[in-house]
């Protein structure tokens, strides 16, 4: 009996919500270089609203709450701690989205 080859971990295909989360992760990473960039902050705010509304429309409860927390954090004075919080938040959003796409949630 031949052992089965290890399964490759595949990321779920990006839908509209996943694309917005990945764009938000990228924008939050950019803030490490330019923490007070107004256009990036505006884009993050727009993406968070899009993610909040899209996830609420899909019946999710944790993602909209997390988006609200990140929107509040985004309004604060730009600091390294704030950027770290935003990056961590988008990482959590991505994990929640990926789990939902895989059927775990």
Fold topology of 16-102: 1.20.120
**Separation of alpha carbons 24 and 19, rounded Å:** 9
pLDDT one-digit tens code per residue, 10-48: 666 889 999 999 999 999 999 989 988 999 999 999 999
Task: Assign 60 to helix, strand or coil.
Answer: coil
Residue of 22, 4, 3 whose CA lies nearest to 12: 22
Write down the domain spans for the chain: 16-102
Residue of 46, 83, 48, 75 whose CA lies nearest to 63: 48
pTM of the predicted protein model: 0.85
pLDDT at 60 over 80: yes
- Structure-block tokens of residue 66: 């997390």
């Amino acid at each position: 009996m031949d052992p089965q080859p290890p399964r490759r971990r595949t990321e779920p295909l990006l839908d509209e919500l996943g694309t917005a989360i990945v764009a938000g992760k990228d924008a939050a990473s950019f803030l490490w270089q330019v923490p007070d960039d107004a256009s990036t902050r505006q884009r993050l705010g727009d993406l968070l609203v899009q993610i909040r509304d899209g996830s609420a429309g899909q019946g999710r409860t944790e993602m909209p709450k997390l988006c609200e927390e990140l929107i509040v954090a985004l309004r604060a004075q730009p600091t390294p701690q704030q950027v770290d919080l935003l990056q961590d938040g988008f990482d959590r959003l991505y994990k929640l989205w990926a789990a939902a796409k895989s059927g775990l949630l």
